[in-house]
Amino acid sequence: MIASAHERRIGGGGLAPAFAAARARLGLIALLFVLAGLAWWSTVDRMRGMDGGPGTSLGTLGWFLGVWTVMMTAMMLPSVSPTVALYARMTRERSPVAPLVFTSGYLLVWAGAGILAFGVSGLGGRLLGDTLAWDRAGRWIAGGILIAAAAYEVTALKNVCLSKCRSPLGFLLGSWRDGLRGALGMGTRHGAWCLGCCWALMASLFALGVMSIAWMALVAGLIAAEKTLPRGRAVTYGTAAILVVLGVFLVAAPHAIPGLTVPGGSMTQMSR
């Protein structure tokens, strides 16, 4: 039985090996948080002064993909670290290689999502042109994206995808594959569930300003809250409420949103 095999893996073989394994897992989590911290530092450094608000130019594909991948490392590694640590506990491997391969597969999915977002943005710009300007349909489209993201937050599909992120043991037991190839495959599958859970929040980031550190931090905080706080369904409803409020204000009174860079204007001041 799969469950029995993995239960034996989780079970101890003496206090000394158990303590050694615990130290290894803590070291792995610390490494992931260090990588996330370095990614935040790099993102702040590279994106300084680039926030153009909703509809910010994404630049070239190579440049955007590099920035996007670093962003995903910063935003996602803290919330995925419990899953990676559990995977490290369950695997036969005692080196950090397999967990890091698992993490790489996870980030690979988000890199693919970045390429897709870049393509959609470019295609929309070519098809709609000046219609996307802020003083035309731009603010309505950005507000509509936020409202649509709020609606997705309360769907059954969102709940199913979120359950995979909040209960990693069930996911790992149900999709276990041995070896480094298995680690990569499991990482990509977990990344796909996470993408299904969080794509709407990432779309919200584009609607608010994808190069804004403040909005990036807010979205990362919402993702972490949904994945880790008790009563996850209540948290998603709270997230939906926040997105609805932002969507309404973005259309009706964008200058009233603290920290928003209004295209053609300037960043509104944070409330004191």
Q: Exposed, middle or buried, 181 (CB in 10 Å: 0-12/13-18/19+)?
A: exposed
Q: State the pLDDT confidence band at 145, using cuts at 50, 70 and 90.
A: very high
Between residues 25 and 154, the one the model is more confident about: 154
Burial level of 234, CB count in 10 A (0-12/13-18/19+)? exposed
For the chain, what is the mean pLDDT? 85
pLDDT at residue number 268:
54
- The neighbouring-strand residues paired with 64 are none
Which tens digit of pLDDT belongs to each residue from 157-200?
Answer: 999 999 998 888 888 998 899 889 999 999 999 999 999 999 99
pLDDT at residue number 16: 54
Statement: residue 88 has pLDDT above 90 = no
pLDDT at 198: 95
Model pLDDT, residue 270? 40
Whether the pLDDT of residue 149 is over 80: the answer is: yes
Least confident of 47-61, 135-149, 194-208: 47-61
| pLDDT tens column, 16-42 | 555 555 666 677 778 788 888 888 888
Specify the pLDDT at position 50: 83
Residue 48: which pLDDT band, with cuts at 50, 70 and 90?
confident
Q: Is the pLDDT of residue 142 over 90?
A: yes
Lowest-confidence segment of 3-12, 31-40, 249-258 by average pLDDT: 3-12
Q: In this predicted structure, which of 3-17, 111-125, 139-153 has the lowest mean pLDDT?
A: 3-17
What pLDDT is attached to residue 203? 94
Q: Which of 25-29, 50-54, 201-205 has the least mean pLDDT? A: 25-29
What average pLDDT does range 230-247 have in this prediction? 93
pLDDT in tens, 91-139: 876 667 899 999 999 999 999 999 999 999 889 888 887 888 888 888 9
Per-residue model confidence (pLDDT) at position 238: 96
What is the mean predicted confidence (pLDDT) over 4-23?
Answer: 53
> SS3 string of the chain?
CHHHHHHHHHCCCCHHHHHHHHHHHHHHHHHHHHHHHHHHHHHHHHHCCCCCCCCCCCCCHHHHHHHHHHHHHHHHHHHHHHHHHHHHHHCCCCCCHHHHHHHHHHHHHHHHHHHHHHHHHHHHHHHHHHHHCHHHHHHHHHHHHHHHHHHHHCCHHHHHHHHHHHCHHHHHHHCCCCHHHHHHHHHHHHHHHHHHHHHHHHHHHHHHCCCCHHHHHHHHHHHHHHHHCCCHHHHHHHHHHHHHHHHHHHHHCHHHCCCCECCCCCECCCCC
Question: Between 6 and 33, where is the model more confident?
Answer: 33
> Residue 261: pLDDT above 90?
no
Residues 6+ apart with CB under 8 A from 141: 132, 207
